[in-house]
Structure 1
Amino acid sequence: MKHTAVITGGSKGIGLDLAKRLLDLDYTVISIARSKASDVPEALIQMQADLLDAAAVAQVAAQIASAYEVTHFVQNAGVIWPNLLEDATPGDITGLAQLQLGSALTLLQAFLPAMKARQFGRVLFNGSRAALGVPTRTAYAASKAGVIGMARTWALELAPHGITVNVVAPGPVQTDNFWGIVAQGSEREAKLAASLPVGRLGVPRDVSNAFLYFCDPENGFVTGQTLYVCGGASVGTLTI
Structure 2
Amino acid sequence: MSQQEVALVTGGSSGIGRATCEALLAQGRTVVNLDYNKPDWSHEKLVFFQADLTKEAETQAVAKEITSTYAVSALVNNAGATRPGTIDTSTMADLDYVVGLHFKASIILIQAALPALRASGHGRIVNVSSRAALGKPDRIVYSATKAGLIGLTRTLAMELGGDQITVNAVAPGPIATELFRKSNPEGAPQTKRIIDSIVVKRLGTADDVARATMFFLSPDNGFVTGQVLYVCGGTTLGVAPV
Query: In the alignment, residue 138 of structure 1 is paired with which amino acid?
Result: I
**Stretches of structure 1 lacking an aligned partner (at least 5 in a row):** none
Moved >4 Å (runs of 4+):
none
How far, CA to CA, are the matches of 1:37 and 1:113 in structure 2? 28
How far does the alpha carbon of each residue in 1:198-232 deviate from its partner, in whole angstroms, 9 at most, with x for none?
Answer: 11110111111100100110000000000000011
Contact 1:2 1:27 in 2 (8 A): no
Contact 1:124 1:168 in 2 (8 A): yes
Out of 76, 79, 87, which is 1:77 matched to? 79
Corresponding residue for 2:188? 186
Q: How do residues 185-204 of structure 1 correspond to structure 2 at under 5 angstroms?
A: 185-204=187-206
How far does the alpha carbon of each residue in 1:162-200 deviate from its partner, in whole angstroms, 9 at most, with x for none?
Answer: 000000000000012312322233121122112211111
Q: Report the aligned-residue RMSD.
A: 1.4
Report how far residue 40 of structure 1 moved: 3.5
SS in structure 2 of the partner of residue 70 of structure 1: strand
Corresponding residue for 1:96? 98
Contact 1:79 1:177 in 2 (8 A): no
Q: How do residues 1-240 of structure 1 correspond to structure 2 at under 5 angstroms?
A: 3-236=5-238
Report how far residue 13 of structure 1 moved: 0.7
SS in structure 2 of the partner of residue 167 of structure 1: strand
Q: TM-score, normalised by structure 2?
A: 0.94
Query: In the alignment, residue 203 of structure 2 is paired with which amino acid?
Result: L
How far, CA to CA, are the matches of 1:184 and 1:46 in structure 2? 31
SS in structure 1 of the partner of residue 216 of structure 2: helix
SS in structure 1 of the partner of residue 72 of structure 2: coil
Contact 2:122 2:222 in 1 (8 A): no
Contact 1:171 1:228 in 2 (8 A): yes
SS in structure 1 of the partner of residue 157 of structure 2: helix
Contact 1:196 1:231 in 2 (8 A): yes
Contact 1:18 1:208 in 2 (8 A): yes
**Stretches of structure 2 lacking an aligned partner (at least 5 in a row):** none
Contact 1:129 1:169 in 2 (8 A): yes
How far does the alpha carbon of each residue in 1:85-106 deviate from its partner, in whole angstroms, 9 at most, with x for none?
Answer: 2111122222211110110110
How far, CA to CA, are the matches of 1:198 and 1:158 in structure 2? 36
How far, CA to CA, are the matches of 1:12 and 1:202 in structure 2? 15
Query: In the alignment, residue 98 of structure 1 is paired with which amino acid?
Result: G
Report how far residue 42 of structure 1 moved: 4.2
Query: In the alignment, residue 72 of structure 2 is paired with which amino acid?
Result: V
Query: In the alignment, residue 168 of structure 2 is paired with which amino acid?
Result: N
